[in-house]
């Protein structure tokens, strides 16, 4: 393997010092798939060097969530990252990331509270804190995030702006399976019949997007269209389907011609699946996402 693997903050700092020019960073929890690799490949194309972290961050999991069982495949991940031309991979343990008596965290207030934050109250505090720590260590020019976790993009962009962090945040479109299911490390939890049912999320988003393209602008009507498709799938248990402002995440309750962010969380079997898209659907590409999502 050519890729350099470092396991401690000190070793990462030393490795980072040896890199020059533009540095792209990608933060992951491992169990890598093509969604992750699309971020890495974008980082590779746009920078002189690429640093990737593989760290299942305990502080973003609530008690009772799947931290212990989260899929882990480090050797395979390292091979994939080596083949993708990554320069440095950071694979810390929780013990080196959170020293005894760790007390500091980053809270990004309002945008962390709705949607995912409503059912996972400390999740984005864990995410913002670990991303802040990783960016301090990696010191990248650009950090790449996936649209798949749209609220995460909004939270991180707000943190970077509010704390004057010297990094550009780029957003890469969601990579999907052939039936439209957004790739996710947690998809391995789906039983075969649930895997088929999971395509309902994409179908429901597309149905709403098609209605939008036909001229519908009422958030209630667009939401109803998505819910109707999900209701037809007996295995789908909807937690929320929501239309929000793509920068502030305020709920949209009146018709508008401004872009909207359609998000959903749906349980199918054990896993809780997330998906989202911008409306109009034509905006779901790298350029528009980077210009619109979380940009105030
Ligand atoms: P995770 O390992 O789930 O924390 O994801 C690491 C990064 O990969 C995050 O920025 C995610 O938004 C991104 N990501 C995960 N799945 C996808 C996907 N299907 N398409 C694009 N990016 C993704």
Three-state DSSP at 260 gives strand
Q: Collapse the DSSP code of 150 into the 3-class scheme (helix H, G, I; strand E, B; otherwise coil) and give the result.
A: helix
Q: Is the pLDDT of residue 71 over 90?
A: yes
Distance 275 CA to ligand 1 centre (A): 11
Confidence of residue 296 (pLDDT cuts 50, 70, 90): confident
Mean pLDDT of 17-29: 98
Q: pTM to 2 decimals?
A: 0.98
Domains of the chain listed by start with CATH number? 4-172 (3.40.50.620), 185-281 (3.30.1300.10)
Instruction: Output the CA 215–ligand 1 centroid distance in Å.
Output: 31
- In tens, the pLDDT along 245-272 reads 999 999 999 999 999 999 999 999 999 9
Residue 126 in tokens? 């864990």
How confident is the model at residue 1, as a pLDDT?
Answer: 87
Q: Which residues are catalytic?
A: 36
Residue linked to tokens 């995410």:
127
As for ligand 1, residues whose beta carbon falls within 6 Å of it are 28-29, 35-36, 38-39, 145-146, 148-149, 172, 174-175, 182-185
Distances (CA, A) of 163 to 132, 157, 289, 292: 10, 10, 22, 20
Kindly report the protein residue whose alpha carbon is nearest to atom 5 of ligand 1: 28
Q: Is 127 helix (H, G, I), strand (E, B) or coil?
A: helix
């Amino acid at each position: 393997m050519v890729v350099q693997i470092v396991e401690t903050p000190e070793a990462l700092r030393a490795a980072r010092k040896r890199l020059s020019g533009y540095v792209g960073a990608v933060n992951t929890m491992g169990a890598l798939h093509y969604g992750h690799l699309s971020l890495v490949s974008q980082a590779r194309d746009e920078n002189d060097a690429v640093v990737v972290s593989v760290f299942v961050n305990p502080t973003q999991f609530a008690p009772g969530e799947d931290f212990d069982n989260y899929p882990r495949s480090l050797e395979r991940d390292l091979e994939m990252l080596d083949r993708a031309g990554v320069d440095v991979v950071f694979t810390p343990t929780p013990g080196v990331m959170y020293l005894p008596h760790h007390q500091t965290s980053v809270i990004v207030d309002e945008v962390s509270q709705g949607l995912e934050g409503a059912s996972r109250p400390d999740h984005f505090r864990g995410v913002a804190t670990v991303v802040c720590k990783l960016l301090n260590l990696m010191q990248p020019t650009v950090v790449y995030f996936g649209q798949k976790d749209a609220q995460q993009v909004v939270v991180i962009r707000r943190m970077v702006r509010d704390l004057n962090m010297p990094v550009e945040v780029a957003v890469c479109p969601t990579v999907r399976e052939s039936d439209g299911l957004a790739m996710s490390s947690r998809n391995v939890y789906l039983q075969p019949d649930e895997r088929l049912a999971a395509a309902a999320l994409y179908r429901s988003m597309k149905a709403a997007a098609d209605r939008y393209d036909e001229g519908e602008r009422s958030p209630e009507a667009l939401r109803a269209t998505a819910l109707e498709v999900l209701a037809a799938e007996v295995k789908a248990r909807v937690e929320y389907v929501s239309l929000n402002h793509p920068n502030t995440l305020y709920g949209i309750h009146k018709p508008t011609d401004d872009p909207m962010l359609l998000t959903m969380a749906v349980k199918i079997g054990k896993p809780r699946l997330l998906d989202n898209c911008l409306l109009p659907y034509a905006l779901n590409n790298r350029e528009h996402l980077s210009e619109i999502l979380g940009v105030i």
